Amino acid sequence: MSASLAKCRVGFVWSPNLETFDFGTKHPIKVGRFLMVKEFLEETEFLAQPNVITIQPKLLSKSLLNRIHSQEYLKKVQRISETGEGEIDIDTPGFKGIYYNANITSGATLAGVEAVATGKVGHAVSPTGGFHHARFEGGGGFSIFNDVAASVFHLREKGFKRILIADFDVHHGNGTQTYFYSDPDVMHISFHEDPEWMYPHDGFIEDIGDGRGLGYNINMHFPMDSGDSVYTYAFDEIVPPLIESYRPEFVIFIPGFDAHYKDPLAHMTLTTEAIRYVTEQIHDAAHTWADGKLVVLAGGGYHRDSFRWGIGTVMSVVTGHEYQPPPQEPPFDDDEETWTIVRENVKRIKELVFPTLGIPGDW
């Protein structure tokens, strides 16, 4: 990492109000999740670094909420919030105060985006965010309000025209895709587990956008048990040419902590080495094309250790402060069958997307 990259000012978005939720004791999103991140970053001295500041989240404005969600859905969330009865979806139970909590946890993303857009910081990291399953008319997949869509609309109001969403959460960002499927001003790159067996069971390679947005929606999915080798291979083959072609003005990045081999909700076998590699590449790309404008959202991650290791790895890259997680040994190596599938998927993406975007090469 160059000295210039290491000196970036980084904002960490935090408030105790992020913990005002209660999905129940058996739900993967447990009370203390975001406090755990803050305490971990204190223990590892990230928050004591001279180039790191704390940013307070703010509530989303009513006008922005009305842009990203229907009136009917917003009223439904308000009713659940007042009574504590009902559910957003089968996997996303309601509770009293859910409207406020969804607003402040999504508002954390907007606070980071605003701080980067205005130059207060070069990068921002939020322990929440990446609620990419929420759609205009509803939520689900632990997502109530779509903070990624809200961020894009906010950035557009500020004059940004080419926004990259690099979503490496192990679950496809189906909600985010619906907002920008026909929009060339947003490039949405999603790396996720094969939708045949992974929620939300969509995000196929052939889904490359529509109309003026054709080619700007990229879905790379991986077979079960895929690890670091095939993952970084696919990244190198697909992502750098796309970013160089697009030249984004702002980057929103979800690292994919739930693709780690310890995560209980998925079947991938990544280690933090892959997370570090991808983060370094996205970080460098933000500096190359977007004047460093990068916001990182924690997204998923449901094992205490791998979630903290992932956060530490990302913070190390964007702040320049050294951190090394413990050694990790995934249960499987990438076998020939996995390599064959991944190579075929990469080839298919290149055949479909690269010519459409005018990226040179023989596919």
pLDDT at 7 over 90: no
- pLDDT tens digits, residue range 187-220? 999 999 999 999 999 999 999 999 999 999 999 9
Is 80 exceeded by the pLDDT of residue 363? no
Asked whether residue 64 carries a pLDDT value surpassing 70, the answer given is: yes
Q: What does 131-193 look like in DSSP terms, one character per residue?
A: -TT-BTTB-BTTBSS-HHHHHHHHHHHTT---EEEEE--SS--HHHHHHHTT-TTEEEEEEEE
Do the strands 186-193 and 217-222 form a parallel or antiparallel pair, or are they unpaired? parallel
Report pLDDT for 362.
67
CB 29 within 8 A of CB 92: no
Per-residue tokens: 86 = 């009902």
| Per-residue pLDDT tens over the stretch 141-156 | 999 999 999 999 999 9
Q: Which helix (H) or strand (E) holds 330?
A: none
Mean pLDDT of 244-255: 98
Whether 153 is in a domain gets the answer yes
**% of the chain with per-residue pLDDT over 70:** 98
Q: What is the pLDDT of residues 302-337, one digit of tens each?
A: 999 999 999 999 999 999 999 999 999 999 999 999
- 363 within a domain of the structure (yes/no): no
Lowest pLDDT segment from 1-5, 135-139, 230-234, 305-309: 1-5
Residue 100 pLDDT exceeds 60: yes
Helix (H, G, I), strand (E, B) or coil at 289: helix
Q: How far, in Å, CA of 325 to CA of 312, rounded?
A: 8
Is position 16 within any domain? yes
Give residue 2's pLDDT: 39
- pLDDT band (50, 70, 90) for residue 5: very low
Question: Strand order of the sheet with strand 217-222?
Answer: 52-55, 10-13, 123-126, 294-297, 250-254, 163-167, 186-193, 217-222
Amino acid (1-letter code) at residue 71: Q
Structure confidence at residue 106 (pLDDT): 98
Which domain CATH number covers 34? 3.40.800.20
Half-sphere exposure of 350 toward its Cβ, with a 13 Å CA cutoff?
Answer: 18
Strand ranges in 205-328 using DSSP code E only, listed in sequence order: 217-222, 250-254, 294-297
123 is catalytic: no
**pLDDT at residue 359 is higher than 90:** yes
pLDDT value of position 4: 42
β-pairing, 92-93 vs 87-89, is: antiparallel
Give domain status of residue 362, yes or no: no
Which of 133, 172, 260, 283 does the annotation list as catalytic? 133
Of 200, 173, 198, 170, whose CA–CA distance to 188 is shortest?
Answer: 173
pLDDT tier at 361 (50, 70, 90 boundaries)? confident
> Which residues contact residue 316 at a Cβ distance below 8 angstroms, ignoring those fewer than 6 apart?
276, 322, 323
From the centroid of its chain, how far is CA 218? 15
Asked whether residue 106 is domain-assigned, the answer is yes
Look at residue 95 and give its three-state secondary structure.
coil
Amino acid 25: pLDDT: 87
Q: Is the pTM of this model over 0.75?
A: yes
CA 294, distance to chain mean position in Å, is: 12
Task: Give the three-state DSSP class for 12.
Answer: strand
54 within a domain of the structure (yes/no): yes
Cis amide bond preceding 200, omega within 30: yes
Q: What range does the domain containing 231 cover? A: 3-357
DSSP assignment of 35-88 equals: HHHHHHHHHTTSTTSTTEEEE---PPPHHHHHHHS-HHHHHHHHHHHHH--SEE
Contact 317, 274 (CB under 8 A): no
Is 27 contained in some domain?
yes
Number of domains forming the structure of the chain:
1
Domain membership flag for residue 88: yes
The arithmetic mean of pLDDT across residues 90-108, rounded, is 97
Instruction: Flag whether pLDDT at 1 surpasses 80.
Output: no
